[in-house]
Chain A
């Protein structure tokens, strides 16, 4: 069963992501996909994911996280997960001065089973931020 999809609204306040009982013994992972719909625009990126009670980052880097492990489902219950993604757009080839929007898709998996997919679109702006604040339940 898919979790109720409130993650697209997780920019400000934390939302719950329920891990169904049958998936609680599985590894919870996440993937981010970034797309610029307009041609001739490129970007730099900065993604940081942190988890409560874990000292180091779950993920840090310029590449969009791909199938990145957060932890075992059972152990994540009650923990808070915060993912921030920052994009800066560079024009190269576009005739338009208005930057492309940024389409940001975040998917959570329990092993290979999709738990939740949310899609957000922001911009047009040269600097765009996405914030996802989740409490696993």
Chain B
């Protein structure tokens, strides 16, 4: 008799210790398609658009697999954020990330997104074939190759804003030097500022906000044209410099207002590509000396995001995602390997997200006892963000039908319902 692979997951509890996504906050709470979950066969969603990495994200959920309640636990961690604590790096807006490379620096993307995924769950005989019941474990890695592009409007505003950065810097430098010394020779100090900023640009591993897209010499000339004095001294000259700096700040404030009129201006759009490798095994009878390898998989997840908002105040996206996966099975798990090819369509509007996915799975060879070499998974998901910390999620559909040892048509329905809770602040 065919069993349900999933029925009703009661609760999804997700904890993130510093989510980095400049998207909707519930996207940073998703641990749905973690490679470790996929290898264990307890993934609530098989295909999802890659989220921004976190230094730590963990989750527990309960699923009914093969008609039995199967609690499972997963965590993901991104080593980049161990070395660079999130509060130092992640929320600083850099010209390099949003304009210069803009998601196309593959090595930089891999370095920042390389994530280790671990999960454990009780094992069942559908996912793990003839292996004895016990504790299943999943391990995996995933990383982003292409991370999407900055929205055109955001890009234009940021470009204008970054042009103001060296202007503000030069006025602030002159003000500080005037405060320290009481009197300054403006040509001499402009030379000192040029040396300082060029040293900074030379020391930067990536393109500095100051060096893009404006030339330092052009800024010096502009300042020299505005301040028609050789020597600056006293409060009156300091006020003159402060006035010029405040003009730059006022111009920047207008740009900030424009940028902030959109809800998620920093969200990346367009093409993203993520790669993943996973492995799972089982401790049969829950015994340490009976730990055996079960499956290994490798896959690519391409996705494309289209911004469909009509008003700046709205969040509205259409995501088209796909997956291509090859999974090797140990003979006791399945006599065949799997080739998966799937697609997912997701529409998000403010607090609501609706999606559907279809994944076709072919067996690498069909034993004579098996009626076909093809099975599939189909689901429809609904997400509603109740508030920044809690998201309701429901998924209905049909899952892959086990393996070539227990083959039948995937005609039965599975349902997962639950809540995601963000507990990030507890870890800070």
Chain A interfacial positions (CB closer than 8 Å to B): 33-36, 39-46, 48, 50-52, 55-57, 60-64, 66, 80, 82, 84, 86, 88-95, 97, 126-127, 133
Residues from chain A with Cβ under 8 Å of B388 in the complex? 39-40, 95
**Cβ 8 A contact of A92, one of B22, B88, B192:** B22
Query: Is A57 touching B196 in the complex (CB atoms < 8 A)?
Result: yes
Residues from chain B with Cβ under 8 Å of A97 in the complex? 260
Query: Is A44 touching B161 in the complex (CB atoms < 8 A)?
Result: yes
Query: Is B179 touching A90 in the complex (CB atoms < 8 A)?
Result: no
Query: Is A48 touching B173 in the complex (CB atoms < 8 A)?
Result: yes
Instruction: Check B121 for interface membership: any CB of A closer than 8 A.
Output: no
A51 to B209, CA, bound (A): 23
Q: Which A-chain residue is minimally distant from B199 (CB atoms)?
A: A56
Query: Is A84 touching B93 in the complex (CB atoms < 8 A)?
Result: no
Query: Is A93 touching B173 in the complex (CB atoms < 8 A)?
Result: no
Q: Find the residue from B172, B208, B210, B265 having the highest chain A CB count within 10 A.
A: B172
Residues from chain B with Cβ under 8 Å of A44 in the complex? 92-93, 161, 165, 209
Closest chain B CB from A10 CB (angstroms): 13
CB-CB under 8 A for A48 and B263, given A93-B22, A126-B253, A127-B249: no
Chain B interfacial positions (CB closer than 8 Å to A): 19, 21-25, 87-88, 91-94, 161, 165, 168-169, 172-173, 176-177, 179-181, 188, 192-193, 195-197, 199-200, 204, 208-210, 249, 252-253, 256-257, 259-260, 263-267, 387-388, 424
Residues from chain A with Cβ under 8 Å of B265 in the complex? 90-92
Query: Is B180 touching A80 in the complex (CB atoms < 8 A)?
Result: yes
Closest chain B CB from A96 CB (angstroms): 9
How many A-B residue pairs have C-beta atoms within 8 angstroms? Tell me.
128
A64 to B89, CA, bound (A): 9
A67 to B201, CA, bound (A): 18
Query: Is A62 touching B263 in the complex (CB atoms < 8 A)?
Result: no
Query: Is B168 touching A56 in the complex (CB atoms < 8 A)?
Result: no
Closest 6 CB pairs of A and B: A92-B266, A57-B196, A92-B22, A35-B87, A56-B196, A91-B260
A89 to B21, CA, bound (A): 16
Query: Is B200 touching A43 in the complex (CB atoms < 8 A)?
Result: no
CB-CB under 8 A for A46 and B24, given A60-B173, A63-B92, A95-B388: no
Query: Is A127 touching B256 in the complex (CB atoms < 8 A)?
Result: yes
Query: Is B264 touching A93 in the complex (CB atoms < 8 A)?
Result: yes
Q: Which B-chain residue is minimally distant from A80 (CB atoms)?
A: B180
Residues from chain B with Cβ under 8 Å of A33 in the complex? 87-88
A48 to B174, CA, bound (A): 11
Residues from chain B with Cβ under 8 Å of A127 in the complex? 249, 252-253, 256
Residues from chain A with Cβ under 8 Å of B177 in the complex? 50
**Cβ 8 A contact of B93, one of A55, A57, A80, A90:** A90
A21 to B93, CA, bound (A): 41
A56 to B388, CA, bound (A): 45
A35 to B91, CA, bound (A): 9
**Cβ 8 A contact of A88, one of B25, B192, B256, B387:** B256
Query: Is B210 touching A62 in the complex (CB atoms < 8 A)?
Result: yes
A34 to B92, CA, bound (A): 9
Query: Is A55 touching B165 in the complex (CB atoms < 8 A)?
Result: no
Residues from chain B with Cβ under 8 Å of A52 in the complex? 180-181
Query: Is B24 touching A93 in the complex (CB atoms < 8 A)?
Result: yes
CB-CB under 8 A for A86 and B264, given A40-B25, A48-B176, A56-B195: no
6 pairs of residues in contact across A and B, judged by CB atoms under 8 Å = A44-B93, A50-B173, A60-B200, A66-B88, A91-B259, A93-B22
CB-CB under 8 A for A48 and B264, given A42-B92, A62-B165, A62-B209: no
Query: Is B197 touching A60 in the complex (CB atoms < 8 A)?
Result: yes
Residues from chain A with Cβ under 8 Å of B260 in the complex? 89-91, 97, 126
Q: Which B-chain residue is minimally distant from A133 (CB atoms)?
A: B179
CB-CB under 8 A for A46 and B165, given A34-B88, A88-B256, A93-B21: yes
Residues from chain B with Cβ under 8 Å of A57 in the complex? 173, 192-193, 196
Q: Which B-chain residue is minimally distant from A100 (CB atoms)?
A: B91
